[in-house]
Amino acid sequence: MHAPRSPSMIEPELLMLAYRSGIFPMADSRDDPEIFWIEPRLRAILPLGGFHLSHSLARTLRRERFSVTCNAAFSEVMEACAAPRQVAEKAGEDGEDESGSWISHRIQASYENLHFLGHAHSVEVWQHDVDDRRQLVGGLYGVGFDRVFCGESMFSRATDSSKVALAYLVASLRRGRVSLLDCQFMTPHLASLGAVEMPQKRYLTLLQEAQSSGAASGMAAGAGAADDVAPGEGAAADEEAGALALPVAFAALLAEGAEDGSASSPGKFIAQLLTQTS
């Protein structure tokens, strides 16, 4: 398997350095070759111990309306997030119809490369039809390093599907000893789930605290060429730093559920975990 390549792709070293510095890229449209770097004056985060699990969402999780995976369809999730749909802001769910997207083809190629290198991850939500064929109906993706996960965008094609993705993400990040879930921009949707807003200066303090004092990967620190970074090396570096990369934490979470007797119903296990802190 070869890493995705594009003549205009943002170099992974630059992308990771940006995230470690509290900034991120956006574009004006899907076909825009240019990017601009964003440092919001106000930043939204979702405290991992403060996720608001509503009674209806808990019921959806327990009833297993959906099946959930991690890193099973990263590119498809990005395509869905970039497609024209009802969306207000990054990582939001409710809003006005838009024909454009801040996720340009250049940005998508760049994050697909980060995914190949083990630093960008997705959570997928599937619904099965009468013939047991599964369809992708919701999901999210973001960038992880040290004890930080930066949520980039989410989408929903079925009621509660993106909320289910976020519930699995929060539970997995807690299992992986992550301390900061960055949502970038506040929306009413995120606020209803427990997100809070703060000045960028306060966010940068939390970001610095969440970054490991141990050895980080050369790529994440901005050293070395992309060709020198083996696939998945970023995930291994996160483990060395004391946190588990999202796919590792996700698998560990499901294994705990199986040990708890919830192998056939992971949603019930997730709901139980999140109810303890909601």
Q: Which amino acid is at 51?
A: F
pLDDT digits (tens, 9 = 90+) for 14-29: 999 999 999 999 999 9
What is the rounded distance in angstroms from the CA atom of residue 68 to the CA atom of residue 85?
A: 22
Q: 118, 247 in Cβ contact below 8 A?
A: no
Q: Using the 8-state DSSP alphabet, how is residue 251 labeled?
A: H
**Nearest C-alpha neighbor of 235 from the set 219, 223, 222:** 219
State in words which class domain 41-101+117-211+232-275 has: alpha beta
Could you state, in order of their start, the residue ranges of all structural domains in the chain? 41-101+117-211+232-275
**φ and ψ at 149, to 5 degrees?**
-130, 125
Output the pLDDT for position 14: 97
Q: What is the DSSP letter of 66?
A: S
Strand, coil or helix: 183 = strand
Q: Is 91 a residue whose pLDDT tops 80?
A: no
Q: Angle between the 266-275 and 246-259 helix axes, to the nearest 10 degrees? A: 100
Does 250 have pLDDT greater than 80?
A: yes
The more confident residue out of 8 and 114 is: 114
Condensed to tens digits (0 to 9), the pLDDT of residues 213-244 reads 433 433 333 333 333 334 444 444 444 447 89
pLDDT (average), residues 135-164? 97
Report the candidate in 141, 235, 177 with the shortest Cα–Cα distance to residue 48.
177
pTM of the model as a whole = 0.83
- Scan for tokens 């969306």, then name that residue: 87
First-last CA distance in the chain: 42
Cα–Cα distances (Å) from 66 to 144, 172, 184, in that order, read: 25, 17, 27
Spatial separation of the C-alpha atoms in residues 231 and 212, rounded to whole Å: 21
DSSP 94-151: ---B-S--S--HHHHHHHHHHHHTTSEEEEEEEEE-TT--EEEEEEEEEEEETTEEEE
pLDDT band at 89 (very low <50, low <70, confident <90, very high): very low
